[in-house]
A and B are shown apart, each in its own frame.
Chain A
Amino acid sequence: MKQLAKPSIGGFISKYTGYVTFVVMVIVLGILTRGGSLRLLSWQNLAIAESVRAFGALGVGMIIITRGIDLSLGQVIGLSACVSASLAQTPDYVSALYPGLDLPAIVPVIAGIGVGVLFGLFNGFLVAYGKLPPFIATLGSMTIAAGLQLIYTHASTVGSLQNEYKKIAQGFLGPVPNMVIYVAIAVLFLWVLLNHTKQGKRIYAIGGNPTAARVSGIAVKFETMKVYLMAGTLYGFAGVLLSSRLGLANALTGDMMELDAIAAATVGGVSHSGGVGKIGGIIIGVLTLGLINFGMTYLGVDSYYQLLVKGAIIISAVYLDMRRAA
């Protein structure tokens, strides 16, 4: 019964396509920029820029593993950013949403996460118990979040945030940006969750075959709800980090981020047929798309053309994935 599969270079590459592609891209870019892109500062910038997207991609990645999708994440991140920013404005700022308000930084953080939690519960309820197709349910909640964002900010920018609040995302621990530490914590947590707990195994089971999951005693609705809730929590935190990093938030904050996050999860090998996807893959997907943006900007490629390249990469990643699965 035990008969080890022969390790081969081809097998290794096909198993770790994402990682291999990423390493190749780093090397090529390093050569093209004569080492410029390999400097610490470049990596710090890349990491900071991609951190918020990483939270989104981790959340939606788990949802895609359960055969779902989440279109609301960009707007939820945006709404969370606006709400948290509004509670972190300097008290003497005349155009503040709540002039004179002076709260410890923990309050806007909790409020921002709270926004994500509420939307996660809402989406999860609609999908798991309301049986709405995830695409439609989250299309609705995306629209609601976008509306709330406009109403809450009166369509103007929430700026002049307190330094203490801005430090949350802008600070460094040695050479490592705080943002990277938050992502690392989330990655570690989710990696343990998906690989070493029954909840994690159940997420794969639900995505792999929901009927068989039910027969195996898994409370499919409840577990699905939990996945949306977890994703919402991640979005909430991402919104806080975004407003803290930018030092402001407005109705456009987070716009279209859902598409980047879904693209990153997809490039990272999360299958839309469900049941397949790894945390490491999602992060590689985020970094790959980030590196493309960053590299092309560094090389002076017109940003309009960058979109074409990005689109082509998404399509080819999925194409290769489908071929491999078939």
Chain B
Amino acid sequence: MSLDNTNILEMHNISKAFPGVQALKDVSFQLKPGTVHALMGENGAGKSTLMKCLFGIYKKDDGEINLNGEIANFKSSRDALESGVSMIHQELNVVPDQSVMENIWLGREHTLRIGPFHLVNHKRMASETGKLMEQLEMEIEPRGRMGSISISHQQACEIAKAVSYNASVVVMDEPTSSLSEKEVNHLFKIIRRLRSQNVAVIYISHKMSEIFQIADEISVMRDGEMVATAPAKELDEDKLINLMVGRDMSQRFPTVEAIPGKVEMQVKNLTSADENSFKDVSFDLRRGEILGIGGLVGAQRTELVESIFGLRPVVEGSVTIEGNDIGIQTVKDAIASGMGLITEDRRGAGIFPLLNITENTSMPSLDRLTNKAGLIDHKTLLKQSREMNEKFKTKTPTMETPIKSLSGGNQQKVIVARWMMTLPEILIMDEPTRGIDVGAKYEIYCIMADLAKAGKSIIMVSSEMPELIGMSHRIMVLCAGRKTGILKGEERTQENIMRLAAMFGHDDFKEEDAS
């Protein structure tokens, strides 16, 4: 660790507001060279917003950023990169069909001048890449195709790219979310190596155990504010959770009053057609029950619920609703047997961005609203769409407004309205509060509690442990595509969820990611 105590990066009193949300309130942050500084906080606490302000992706409303004592106002990630501030995103930005070295030197290829022509100097690029790899003690073939190496190696290449820009600050956003334990250890080796070269690392993560292994300092954010910064050795997990949550859990979630009744749906030995996905999963779901599904990234939770909904093929097992094997083949079947699915990826697989609220709400109900002549009953359609959106308090100027102009929380309410209009008995919600602000989250939770009280069954896939604990009657945990347990009552703790979620190393299906 460096003895030099002047900060390399200082962010002073940063504020940022979005319509309806104060995303950052007067946030200050100091980073010392040669340290790993963990930035923690729940989803929506403002970590990404702070980083986006640093990189100029968002324009800060107020505050000042100093890099090496000078004011830095980056206009883009590229601009930041050229000043030695680099970011490794959770979703890697690689060009899979190009070689490792082409990826690293993308946009600034070494060239060879022959007369008036600048030709790409592949030989020099390969040797420079080789040097980088040596410096970071990585064994990656510079000429190999990026798409054919594992995710962890791709990530390592991104780090090498940052180093090639002589980065003095490297931000890593949830870098271990798709890595196995072995790969995490390798990543930590690289990070320590960077630290020894006096690089400062901002490490964003939720994972407590990792933080205490790697971080020198920890800063915690909550609801857009910086609540604490302290050396890692002065903190422990309990203190950290308290800082992150900061308030009584009961206030964040409404009371789920529903008492589960008789069994509504039974899933038996369900096995995906994709051998790297889930195997032999069985569970049942009761009326008026909220069943949480937890697990790490790669646990195949989304794959499981999408298969139940007919979006992905299964090779074995059965799904019975009220005792009838429904043999779901297509989404249409699933809808007809009373299921609805709110997808994880709202923008990609949920909304029809240019269509209006009415059209977005009514799409899966069109069969029911078409008369014998084959024409849509517009009057009923408008009335029901309006009623559903009023029920869930969607805030929209008119029913004719395109859905893309609503906020994330309101879009999610339209999607809930969409599925409730199909009159389902079972609602599957995959990450129902992802990317929506705290206030709207609470409203979504209330809707869930009300639906359960009205006797509907809900399956909720979530990566947020407080949400799983606060909203579910029972929590099923998956690890590497297998069910590792069901937690109920007092067993529903973060520790138990984590233990079940990390039961097996998930090296098994790293191959899938790499392919």
Residues in A lying within 8 Å of B, measured CB to CB: 1-5, 192, 196-198, 201-202, 204-205, 208-209, 211-219, 275-276
Contact = CB atoms under 8 A, between A and B. Distances in A.
Contacts of A212: 343, 348-352
B407 to A, nearest CB: 14
Contacts of A192: 375
B366 interface: yes
Minimum-distance CB pairs A-B, first 3 = A198-B366, A208-B352, A211-B349
Contact of B331 (A201, A202, A204, A217): A217
B377 to A, nearest CB: 10
A2 B398 contact: yes
Given A196-B378, A205-B363, A209-B353, A215 B343 contact: yes
B359 A201 contact: yes
B355 A275 contact: yes
18 contacts: A1-B389, A1-B390, A1-B395, A4-B398, A196-B378, A197-B375, A201-B363, A201-B366, A202-B366, A204-B359, A209-B349, A212-B352, A214-B311, A215-B341, A215-B343, A216-B364, A219-B332, A275-B354
A116 B435 CA distance: 48
A104 B398 CA distance: 56
A211 to B, nearest CB: 4
A196 B311 contact: no
Q: How large, as a class, is the contact surface on chain B?
A: 35 or more
Nearest to A220: B331
A208 B349 CA distance: 11
B427 to A, nearest CB: 13
A49 B448 CA distance: 60
Q: Which applies to chain B's interface (DSSP): helix, strand, loop or mixed?
A: loop
B115 interface: no
Nearest to B352: A208
A209 B375 contact: no
A276 B354 contact: yes
Contacts of A1: 389-390, 394-396
Nearest to B393: A1
Contacts of B362: 201
Interface string B375-409: 11010000000000110001111100000000000
Interface in B275-303: none
A215 B349 contact: yes
Nearest to A2: B398
Interface in B333-352: 334-335, 341, 343, 345, 348-352
Given A2-B398, A215-B343, A216-B363, A204 B352 contact: yes
Given A5-B398, A204-B359, A217-B335, 8 more contacts: A196-B376, A197-B374, A198-B369, A205-B359, A209-B351, A218-B331, A275-B355, A276-B354
Contacts of A208: 352-355
B135 interface: no
Contacts of A211: 345, 348-349
Contacts of A196: 375-376, 378
B150 interface: no
Contacts of A198: 366-367, 369-370, 376
B354 A197 contact: no
B98 interface: no
B330 interface: yes
Contacts of B350: 212, 215
A99 B157 CA distance: 74
A202 B359 CA distance: 10
A158 B322 CA distance: 67
Point out which of A204, A208, A215, A219 has the most chain B C-beta atoms below 10 A from its C-beta: A215
Given A1-B389, A198-B366, A217 B343 contact: no
Contact of B397 (A5, A216, A219): A5
B366 A209 contact: no
B332 A217 contact: yes
A201 B348 CA distance: 19
Contacts of A218: 331, 363
A205 B370 contact: no
Contacts of A3: 397-398
B159 to A, nearest CB: 32
A46 to B, nearest CB: 32
Nearest to B366: A198
Nearest to A199: B374
A177 B390 CA distance: 50
A197 to B, nearest CB: 6
Point out which of B341, B345, B355 has the most chain A C-beta atoms below 10 A from its C-beta: B355
